[in-house]
A and B are shown apart, each in its own frame.
Chain A
Amino acid sequence: MPKRTDIKKILIIGSGPIVIGQACEFDYSGTQACKSLKDEGYEVILVNSNPATIMTDPDFADRTYIEPITPEIVAQIIERERPDALLPTLGGQTGLNTAVAVAEAGVLEKFGVEMIGATLDVIKKAEDRELFREAMGRINQRVPRSGIARSIEDCFRIAEELSYPLIVRPSFTLGGSGGGVAYNREDLEQIASLGLDLSMIHEVMLEESIIGWKEFELEVMRDRMDNVVIVCSIENIDPMGVHTGDSITVAPAQTLTDREYQEMRDAAIAIIREIGVDTGGSNIQFAVNPQTGEMVVIEMNPRVSRSSALASKATGYPIAKLAAKLAVGYTLDEIPNDITRETQASFEPTIDYCVVKIPRWTFEKFPGTEDFLTTSMKSVGETMAIGRTFAEALQKGLRSLEISRYGFFGDGRNRLDSDPALVEPEIIRSRLRTANSQRIFYLAAALKAGFSIEEINELTGIDPWFLYHFDRLVKRGREIEALGPLFGSPETAAARTDLAEELLRAKRDGFSDIQLAHMWGWKEDQIRSLRKSLGVNSVYKLVDTCAAEFEAYTPYYYSTYEEEDEIRSTDRKKVIILGGGPNRIGQGIEFDYCCVHASFALREMGIESIMVNSNPETVSTDYDTSDRLYFEPLTKEDVLNIIEKEKPLGVIVQFGGQTPLNLAVPLAEAGVNILGTSPDSIDRAEDRERFQVMLKKLGLVQPPNGTAMTVEEATKVAAEIGYPVVVRPSYVLGGRAMQIVYDVDSLAGFVRYAQEASEGHPILIDKFLEDAIELDVDAVSDGHRAIIGGIMEHIEEAGVHSGDSACALPPHSLSAQLIETIKEAAKAMAKELNVIGLMNVQFAVKDDELYVLEVNPRASRTVPFVSKATGLPLAKVATRVMLGQSLDDQGIFDEPAPKHVSVKEAVFPFNRFPGVDTILGPEMKSTGEVMGIDSEFGLAYAKSQMATGEMLPLEGNIFISVRDRDKKMAVKVARRFADQGFKIIATRGTAQAIAEAGVEVETVNKVFEGRPHVVDLIKNGRIHFIANTSLGHRTVIDSISMRRTALLYKIPYVTTMAGALATAQACEALRNHKITVKTIQEFHQVD
Chain B
Amino acid sequence: MESKKAILALADGKVFQGCSFTGPGETWGEIVFNTSMTGYQEVLTDPSYTGQIVSMTYPHVGNYGINEQDMESERIRVEGFILREYHPVPSNWRSRQALSEFLTAAGVLGITGIDTRALTRHLRERGAMTGFISTEDLDPDSLVEKARRAPTLDNRDLVKDVTCKQPYVWVPDENGGRREFNPAAIEDWTRTRGRYRVAAMDYGIKFNILRLLAAHGAAVLVLPAATPPDEVLGYNPDGIFLSNGPGDPAAVTYVYENLRGLLGQRPIFGICLGHQMLGLAMKGSTFKLKFGHRGANQPVKDLTTGKIEITSQNHGYCVDMDSLAGQDIRLTHVNLNDNTLEGLADEKRGFFSVQYHPEASPGPHDASYLFERFIKLMRK
Contact = CB atoms under 8 A, between A and B. Distances in A.
A291 interface: yes
B35 A549 contact: yes
Contact of B299 (A255, A257, A333, A541): A333
Contact of A257 (B41, B89, B297): B41
A935 to B, nearest CB: 53
Interface in B99-136: 115-118, 120-121, 124
Contacts of B361: 258-259
Interface in A54-99: none
Interface stretch (B178-186, B254-262, B303-311): B303-311
A111 interface: no
Interface stretch (A225-233, A569-577, A936-944): A225-233
Contacts of B89: 464-465, 468
Contact of B336 (A256, A333, A350): A333
A539 to B, nearest CB: 9
Nearest to A263: B365
B87 A333 contact: no
B274 interface: no
B16 A563 contact: yes
Interface string A582-612: 0000000000000000000000000000000
Nearest to B88: A468
A821 interface: no
A256 B299 contact: no
Interface stretch (B90-98, B240-248, B344-352): B90-98
Interface in B57-85: 57-60, 63-64, 67, 69-70, 84-85
Contacts of A254: 60, 63
B58 A352 contact: yes
Given A252-B58, A354-B60, A550 B337 contact: yes
Nearest to B84: A388
A237 to B, nearest CB: 12
Contacts of A226: 307
A830 interface: no
Interface in B29-47: 33, 35-39, 41-42
A89 B183 CA distance: 62
Contacts of B296: 258, 348, 350
Interface string B293-330: 00111110100001110100000000000000000000
Given A229-B310, A261-B38, A342-B337, A547 B63 contact: no
Contacts of A262: 360, 362-365
Contact of B124 (A258, A351, A390, A549): A549
Interface in B8-35: 16, 33, 35
Contact of A352 (B41, B57, B63): B57
B35 A350 contact: yes
Interface in B114-167: 115-118, 120-121, 124
Interface centre among A348, A389, A566 (most CB of B within 10 A): A348
A352 B361 CA distance: 20
B92 A257 contact: yes
B124 to A, nearest CB: 6
A353 interface: yes
A465 B115 contact: no
A548 B121 contact: yes
A148 B282 CA distance: 62
Nearest to B293: A549
- The residue among A342, A343, A549 with the most chain B CB atoms within 10 A of its own CB is A549
Nearest to B38: A258
Contacts of A563: 16, 115, 118
Interface in B204-230: none
A564 B117 contact: yes
B308 A346 contact: yes
A333 B295 CA distance: 19
Contact of B120 (A344, A347, A465, A547): A547
Contacts of B36: 258, 350
Given A262-B365, A344-B336, A350 B37 contact: yes
B54 to A, nearest CB: 14
Given A258-B38, A347-B297, A347-B336, A354 B115 contact: no
A551 to B, nearest CB: 8
Contacts of A230: 310
Nearest to A546: B35
Nearest to B309: A227
A1029 B301 CA distance: 67
A989 interface: no
Contacts of A548: 57, 117, 120-121, 124
Given A257-B94, A343-B337, A389-B85, A352 B39 contact: no
A388 B299 contact: no
Contacts of B363: 258, 262
A121 interface: no
Interface in A998-1038: none
Contact of A256 (B35, B38, B42, B60): B38
Contacts of B364: 262, 265, 348
Mostly helix, strand, loop or mixed at chain B's interface?
loop
A227 B307 contact: yes
Interface residues of A, number: 55
Contacts of B70: 257-259
A230 B39 CA distance: 17
Contacts of B35: 350, 352, 546-547, 549
A226 B360 CA distance: 20
B84 A389 contact: yes
Nearest to B295: A350
Contacts of A291: 93
A884 interface: no
Contact of A348 (B39, B69, B124, B297): B297
Contacts of A353: 59
Interface in A877-922: none
Contact of B116 (A332, A350, A352): A352
Contact of B115 (A256, A265, A351, A562): A562
A666 interface: no
Interface centre among B37, B69, B84, B337 (most CB of A within 10 A): B37
Contacts of A351: 37, 58
A352 B117 contact: yes
Interface string A462-502: 01110010000000000000000000000000000000000
Contact of B297 (A349, A465, A564): A349
Interface string A532-547: 0000000001000011
A343 B336 CA distance: 7
Interface string A322-347: 00000000011100000000111011
A293 interface: yes
Contacts of A342: 337-338
B63 A255 contact: yes
Nearest to B43: A258
Contacts of B84: 352, 388-389
B91 A350 contact: no
A347 B356 CA distance: 15
Given A255-B92, A293-B93, A389-B84, A350 B39 contact: no
21 contacts: A227-B307, A227-B308, A253-B38, A255-B92, A257-B38, A257-B39, A258-B38, A258-B42, A259-B361, A262-B365, A292-B93, A293-B93, A350-B295, A352-B58, A352-B59, A465-B89, A547-B35, A547-B57, A547-B120, A548-B120, A551-B124
Given A259-B361, A354-B59, A388-B84, 18 more contacts: A227-B308, A255-B63, A258-B363, A262-B364, A265-B364, A293-B94, A344-B299, A348-B296, A351-B58, A388-B117, A463-B91, A546-B297, A547-B33, A547-B117, A548-B57, A549-B35, A550-B124, A562-B118
The 6 closest A-B pairs by CB, nearest first: A258-B39, A564-B118, A258-B362, A547-B57, A465-B91, A258-B38
Interface of A: 225-227, 229-230, 233, 252-259, 261-262, 265-266, 290-293, 331-333, 342-344, 346-354, 388-390, 463-465, 468, 541, 546-551, 562-564, 566
